[in-house]
Amino acid sequence: MSHAHADEHYLQAKGFYNWFFSVDHKRIGLMYLLAILFFFLVAGFSAILVRTELLFPGHTIVDARGYNVLFTLHGAIMVFLFIVPGIPATLGNFLLPLMIGAKDVAFPRLNLLSFWIYLLGVVCVLYALVGTPWKDWLDTGWTLYAPYSVQSSTGVIPITLGVFILGFSSILTGLNFTVTIHRLRAPGMTWHRLPLFCWAIYSASLIQILATPVVGITLLLLIMERIFGIGFFTPALGGDPILFENMFWFYSHPVVYIMILPAMGVVAEILPVFSKKPIFGYRAIAYSSLAIALVSFFVWGHHLFVSGMSYWSRWVFSLLTFAVAIPTAIKVFNWISTLYKGSIRLDSPMLYACAFIFLFTIAGLTGIPLATLATDVHLHDSYFVVAHFHYTMQGGTVIGLLAGLHFWYPKIFGKMYNELASKVGFWMLFIGFNMTFMPQFLLGYFGMPRRYYDYLQEYADLHFMSSIGAYLNGLAYLFIFGNLIYGLFKGKAAAKNPYESLSLEWTVPSPPPLTNFDEVPTVEDWTYGYASEQNA
Amino acid sequence: MSAPGTFFHAHEEDPVEAYQNFKFGMWMFLATEVLLFGGLFAAYFIFKYRYHELFVKGSSHLDWRMGSLNTLVLLISSYTMAMAVDAAQRSENQKLIRNLLLTLLFAATFLVVKGFEWIPKFNHGIYPGTDIYFSIYFLTTGLHLLHVLIGMFFIGLLAVRANKGRYNSENFGGVEVGGLYWHLVDIIWIFLFPLLYLVGSV
Ligand SMILES: [Cu+2]
């Protein structure tokens, strides 16, 4: 048995026990990263199958039910196993204590417990999705809408249970991070010196704590509906499927901000470093995260504009949804102002960060016709919606995650990846992504409904183009992750602070020692005091 | 096995810091619990609005005396729990143990009364799913019951640890945080009681 030293870095520990029972936030973050990237690839592969079915009109590789199974597989794994834990559980876990000058999160054991609970949820979800004979694979779509989810003979109960368990994991992570940020900041790390990534994680954590229990109870009700026939969602028994939709979106709209806020935080960390300029509008960006978190609780009705909702409710929900645009635009303006007159270096983290701004802006702007009552009647449940949320989720969250992975890769692994290859991967992704989803805006606008396995001849060209784009998109991910994995083995050793960031996590060695800081650091200034050549 | 930073070898924390973190964390958790029940309460009000008659009729099948008794029992248990926290802060270990056990006793009384309410209903063929009112009734009281059981488990744990002399005026965080949870269980019942038992009279 080797005796570990305090200056040993966190990656040195070997063996199952040292990892699976580790309460170190960095190891837990890394285990989450492995898990969610694995599921990202699985769900990505099912997306490739979906797009293959849609290459040509009519039956291509699966029948109509098979198609339902495929998009359920894609959606459920992407949402529940990949993107909800997403950036907070991975980069958040790894960076949060380092950024605020703490040795770990507030409850290290609870943090590990969250990970174990996540794995338990994974088992349930996978059982429902692929654990049974093919004819019983879940076919409800990830939204599990009543009344179909009450009737379907597939594994609704196991997936519902699984998502409930995953929600518990998510709540505990959010709770842990909230307490960490409130209580564990190093001396001098005031709220207004807190890195913007931490503000974003903080805002997302609040949503995790306050919105997740509502989907929890909704899912419990769905289970009870199937076991006892409690009737809440069944019209014949006096219930109402719309109640399920309301309760479901009360969580599932805010959850979008659990996904996107941390990505925004990543971008806010990268832009000043690669522009050599202080972040512009620090407080505006920080408080807009909180504002988005707050408003996100009052907009769920925009998913129900055509499902039966009173005139005035629709009016109010539409107005409130527009209100989200204000804090969001505040962020975008401040990011762009940060770039203005900066001495910009276009290393790959910065490329991803800029792509985030561009793609997320498209995502945000295409949200407006969906929030508008008149246009939503036309666009609702069409490919326009599919394109819109993929611009948010992939163009926003996934690109943000990749930006963060490339930026903090040297810190996390102590190695460098090949910069040229990562740029090639970036452009493959950027082109592939836009080629996949830009045509889908048009498809939706021309009337192509989502979740259909067949389509009219007039949509064939755009569908074909979208599928080809999806293949390029998929290849890009293999290339990007291939490059990152190659760097682990063959990359040259990374310096302590290769990008000359002023943030606390770069003051410790790469990779960081197990206990992060020898001494608790004292913070004298905010983290964005960069001086460009012009200012200097 | 020397494995620093693993589950059974986590580094020691400053007890005062740990206590403050623990308390803060519990308040966050209570917020989660409120929202969990909030979803059920929302369903209650929606269906009550739609089926007022059904709710009045269903409510008349409940015995308000049993409901009142249980309200009283839980209120007293909250009091003994508060006394337990007070005893822990004063390092009065015997008093702490006594109050924890009393709290457990009242919680058990609550369960027994609940049993006397539920079992006759099952015998009369009233289940969740009988109608919307009884679905709400069984779900809300059932979820609350689950919380009572969880609370009892932790209070039992506190009693065992108190018996080992773990708590004193320097170290009473566990008792206090357990108390917070127990008060929430009580408060939720205070809301459930009038909503379920007294519908007809308002
Ligand atoms: Cu929404």
Number of folded domains that form chain B = 1
CA distance A324 to chain B (A): 23
User: Tokens 């270990």, residue?
Assistant: B93
Q: How far is the CA of B189 from the centre of ligand 1 (A)?
A: 33
A6: number of Cβ within 10 Å = 10
Tell me which residues of chain A, numbers 296 to 325, contact chain B at a CB-CB cutoff of 8 Å. Answer: none
CA-angle at A430, arms to A426 and A432, nearest 5°: 115
What is the arithmetic mean of pLDDT over B50-66? 91
Q: Which of B151, B201, B185, B199 is nearest to B70 (CA)?
A: B185
Contact present, B178 and B23 (Cβ < 8 Å):
no
Q: What does the pLDDT look like over A97-139, one tens digit per residue?
A: 999 999 999 999 999 999 999 999 999 999 999 999 998 999 9
Residue in chain A lying closest to B135 (CA):
A230
Name the residue facing A4 among B4, B24, B35 (closest C-beta).
B4
Q: What does the pLDDT look like over B101-115, one tens digit per residue?
A: 999 999 999 999 999
CA–CA dist A168, B163 (Å, integer): 32
Q: Can you tell me whether residue A286 is helix, strand or coil?
A: helix
CA–CA dist B125, B113 (Å, integer): 19
The phi, psi pair for B67, rounded to 5°, reads -60, -45
In this prediction, residue A209 carries a pLDDT of 96
Q: Which of A346, A370, A366 is nearest to A422 (CA)?
A: A346
Tell me which residues of chain A, numbers 92 to 131, contact chain B at a CB-CB cutoff of 8 Å. Answer: 103-104, 106-110, 112
Using a CB-CB distance cutoff of 8 angstroms, which residues of chain A are in contact with residue B37?
Answer: 217
CA distance B148 to chain A (A): 17
User: Please, what is the end-to-end C-alpha distance for chain B in angstroms?
Assistant: 65
Q: What does the pLDDT look like over A496-535, one tens digit per residue?
A: 999 999 999 999 999 999 889 988 899 988 889 888 555 4
Residue in chain A lying closest to B3 (CA):
A18
Interface test with A, best of B22, B24, B35 (most A CBs within 10 A): B35
Q: What does the pLDDT look like over A36-59, one tens digit per residue?
A: 999 999 999 999 999 999 999 999
CA–CA dist A390, A33 (Å, integer): 21
Using a CB-CB distance cutoff of 8 angstroms, which residues of chain A are in contact with residue B20?
Answer: 183
Q: Which of A474, A404, A448, A1 is nearest to A197 (CA)?
A: A404
In this prediction, residue A156 carries a pLDDT of 95
In the predicted model, is pLDDT for residue B145 greater than 80?
Answer: yes
In this prediction, residue B11 carries a pLDDT of 67
CA–CA dist A400, A356 (Å, integer): 6
CA–CA dist A52, A463 (Å, integer): 10
In this prediction, residue A533 carries a pLDDT of 52
Torsion of Cα atoms, A116 then A121 then A124 then A128, to 10°: -150
Interface test with B, best of A230, A246, A250 (most B CBs within 10 A): A230
Q: What does the pLDDT look like over A324-352, one tens digit per residue?
A: 999 999 999 999 999 999 999 999 999 99
In the predicted model, is pLDDT for residue A3 greater than 50?
Answer: no
Contact present, B40 and A230 (Cβ < 8 Å):
no
| Complete DSSP assignment for A253-264 | THHHHHHHHHHH
For all residues of chain A together, what is the average pLDDT?
Answer: 94
Amino acid at A227: I
More confident residue, A432 or B7: A432
Q: Which of A245, A240, A244 is nearest to B49 (CA)?
A: A240
CA–CA dist B27, A39 (Å, integer): 33
Contact present, A25 and A96 (Cβ < 8 Å):
yes
Could you say which DSSP state residue A494 is in? Answer: P
CATH number for position B115: 1.20.120.80
In the predicted model, is pLDDT for residue A477 greater than 50?
Answer: yes
In this prediction, residue A13 carries a pLDDT of 83
What is the arithmetic mean of pLDDT over A441-459? 96
Q: Can you tell me whether residue B171 is helix, strand or coil?
A: strand
Q: How far is the CA of A136 from the centre of ligand 1 (A)?
A: 30
More confident residue, A429 or A8: A429
Does any domain span residue B152?
yes
More confident residue, A273 or B199: A273
Q: Which residues of A222-258 are buried (b: 16+ CB within 10 A; e: fewer)?
A: bbbbbeebbbbbbeeebbbbbbbbbbbbbbbbbbbbb
Tell the burial category of A202 from Cβ atoms under 10 Å away from its Cβ (0-12, 13-18, 19+): buried
Q: Which of A245, A396, A230 is nearest to A306 (CA)?
A: A245
Q: Give me the total of CB pairs closer than 8 Å, taking one residue from chain A and one from chain B.
A: 129
Q: Can you tell me whether residue A449 is helix, strand or coil?
A: strand
B13: Cβ–Cβ under 8 A, 6 or more apart, which residues?
Answer: none
Amino acid at A46: S
Q: Which of A300, A302, A296, A301 is nearest to A324 (CA)?
A: A296
Residue A432's alpha-carbon distances to A40, A406, A436, A470, A471, in angstroms, are 17, 19, 6, 6, 7
CA–CA dist A44, A47 (Å, integer): 5
In this prediction, residue A4 carries a pLDDT of 46
Does any domain span residue B3?
no
Domains, chain A, in order of start with CATH, read 3-507 (1.20.210.10)
CA–CA dist A510, A493 (Å, integer): 9
pLDDT band of B34, cuts 50, 70, 90: very high
The phi, psi pair for A115, rounded to 5°, reads -65, -45
Whole-prediction pTM value? Answer: 0.94
Does any domain span residue B1?
no
CA–CA dist A411, A214 (Å, integer): 37
CA–CA dist B87, B96 (Å, integer): 5
CA–CA dist B165, A519 (Å, integer): 34
Does any domain span residue B157?
yes
Contact present, A194 and A266 (Cβ < 8 Å):
no
Amino acid at A418: N
What is the arithmetic mean of pLDDT over A226-244? 92
Predicted complex ipTM exceeds 0.85 = yes
CA–CA dist A437, A472 (Å, integer): 12
CA-angle at A176, arms to A175 and A178, nearest 5°: 65
Does any domain span residue B57?
yes
pLDDT band of B7, cuts 50, 70, 90: confident
Residue A87's alpha-carbon distances to A32, A198, A402, in angstroms, are 10, 12, 10
CA-angle at A48, arms to A43 and A49, nearest 5°: 95
Does any domain span residue B2?
no
Does any domain span residue B4?
no
Domain range for B196:
9-201
In this prediction, residue A536 carries a pLDDT of 42
A228: Cβ–Cβ under 8 A, 6 or more apart, which residues?
Answer: B127, B128, B129, B135
User: Please, what is the end-to-end C-alpha distance for chain A in angstroms?
Assistant: 53
Contact present, A28 and A533 (Cβ < 8 Å):
no
A522: number of Cβ within 10 Å = 10
In this prediction, residue A284 carries a pLDDT of 96
pLDDT band of A2, cuts 50, 70, 90: very low
For all residues of chain B together, what is the average pLDDT?
Answer: 92
In this prediction, residue A1 carries a pLDDT of 34
Does any domain span residue B118?
yes
CA–CA dist A195, A257 (Å, integer): 18
What interhelical angle do A196-228 and B15-50 show, nearest 10?
50
Tell me which residues of chain A, numbers 368 to 407, contact chain B at a CB-CB cutoff of 8 Å. Answer: none
Torsion of Cα atoms, A390 then A393 then A399 then A405, to 10°: -150
C-alpha count within 13 angstroms, C-beta hemisphere, residue A201: 34
